[in-house]
């Protein structure tokens, strides 16, 4: 570290006395940089947070959002609707729309699927998604269809959606989100053969830019037999069509 702030923080880290530093957020950024830990909008950084840290980070973000409102020339002292907005925004980012960055992975206990009557069919789960684009922080909403051919273990059905939502509640790109969900489902289930299909609308296209209200984006990630075997691939998309007829969007 060559800059002044970095040197000071490094010294504090050496002393273990970072509580002297005014902003916890600065110290955590310093630590992640030191460890070469990536902390992009779509990355989970829960391993760097201790109990109580989130509350302190919300306080620090509130201060920063107050400055943003001031710079936007919004009278947050007198406008009753804008009075608590900075704190509401800070809480919303940490606890809701970006919660998947700060929360540890959902507990997805796996159950054995290795007895004589093991389930060998395809499983397709439809998960509601709420996400946010990294570029403009606009909402992304849609559904993910997660298909797997179970390996020797199974996870509870609600866990697919929990994992998908944990990946989604960050700043994302739909293409990356699709990959992230596939990777995390693969990790949790050990399945080699799986597919993730996402269909979503983007606030980015609806509320700004091209203002196209009916735009819909589809992304697909296929692994193993979902990719290589046309029969499996067809079965996956047939399942999606059946689910869409049942619960259209």
Which residues lie near Zn ion (CB under 5 A)?
Answer: 133, 135-136, 204
**Please, what is the minimum distance in Å from the beta carbon of residue 176 to Zn ion?**
13
Q: Which is nearer to Zn ion, 136 or 183 (CB)?
A: 136
Q: Which is nearer to Zn ion, 41 or 123 (CB)?
A: 41
* Token pair in block for residue 59: 């306080």
Q: Which is nearer to Zn ion, 127 or 174 (CB)?
A: 174
Query: Alpha-carbon torsion 198, 199, 203, 205, what sign?
Result: positive
**Please, what is the minimum distance in Å from the beta carbon of residue 26 to Zn ion?**
27
**Please, what is the minimum distance in Å from the beta carbon of residue 204 to Zn ion?**
3
List C-alpha distances in Å: 9 to 59, 171, 235: 20, 27, 55
Q: Which is nearer to Zn ion, 106 or 171 (CB)?
A: 171
- Specify the residue for token string 């075997």: 229
- Specify the residue for token string 């010294």: 11
- Specify the residue for token string 């973000």: 61
* Distance, C-alpha 144 to centroid of its chain: 13
Alpha carbons 104 and 166: distance in angstroms, whole number: 9
* Token pair in block for residue 78: 């007198």
Complete DSSP assignment for 2-58:
-SHHHHHHHHHHHHT-GGGSS-HHHHHHHHHHHTT----TT---GGG--TTHHHHHH
The CA-based dihedral angle spanning residues 9, 15, 19, 21, taken in that order and rounded to the nearest 10 degrees: -20
**Please, what is the minimum distance in Å from the beta carbon of residue 62 to Zn ion?**
24
Residues 6 or more apart in contact with residue 193 via CB below 8 angstroms = 148, 149, 223, 224, 225, 226, 232
Q: Which is nearer to Zn ion, 9 or 133 (CB)?
A: 133
Q: Which is nearer to Zn ion, 43 or 229 (CB)?
A: 43
Q: Which is nearer to Zn ion, 17 or 209 (CB)?
A: 209
* Token pair in block for residue 137: 């922080």
**Please, what is the minimum distance in Å from the beta carbon of residue 36 to Zn ion?**
27
């Amino acid at each position: 570290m060559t800059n002044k702030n970095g040197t000071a923080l490094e010294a504090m880290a050496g002393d273990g006395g970072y509580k002297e530093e005014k902003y916890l957020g600065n110290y955590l950024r310093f630590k992640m940089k030191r460890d070469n830990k990536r902390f992009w909008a779509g990355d989970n950084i829960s391993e760097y947070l201790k109990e109580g840290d989130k509350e302190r980070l919300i306080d620090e973000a509130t201060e920063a959002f107050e400055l943003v409102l001031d710079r936007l020339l919004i009278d947050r002292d007198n406008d009753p609707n804008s009075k608590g907005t900075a704190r509401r925004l800070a809480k919303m980012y940490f606890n809701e729309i970006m919660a998947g960055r700060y929360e540890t992975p959902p507990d997805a206990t796996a159950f054995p699927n290795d007895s004589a009557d093991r389930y060998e069919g395809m499983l397709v789960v439809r998960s509601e998604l709420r996400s946010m684009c990294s570029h403009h922080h606009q909402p992304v909403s849609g559904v993910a269809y997660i298909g797997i051919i179970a390996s020797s273990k199974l996870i509870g059905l609600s866990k697919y959606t929990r994992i998908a939502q944990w990946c989604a509640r960050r700043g994302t790109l739909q293409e990356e989100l699709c990959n992230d969900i596939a990777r995390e489902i693969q990790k949790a289930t050990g399945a080699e053969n799986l597919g993730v299909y996402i269909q979503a609308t983007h606030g980015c296209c609806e509320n700004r830019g091209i203002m196209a209200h009916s735009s819909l984006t589809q992304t697909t990630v296929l692994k193993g037999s979902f990719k290589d075997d046309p029969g499996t691939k067809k079965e996956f998309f047939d399942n999606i069509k059946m689910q869409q007829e049942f619960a259209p969007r």
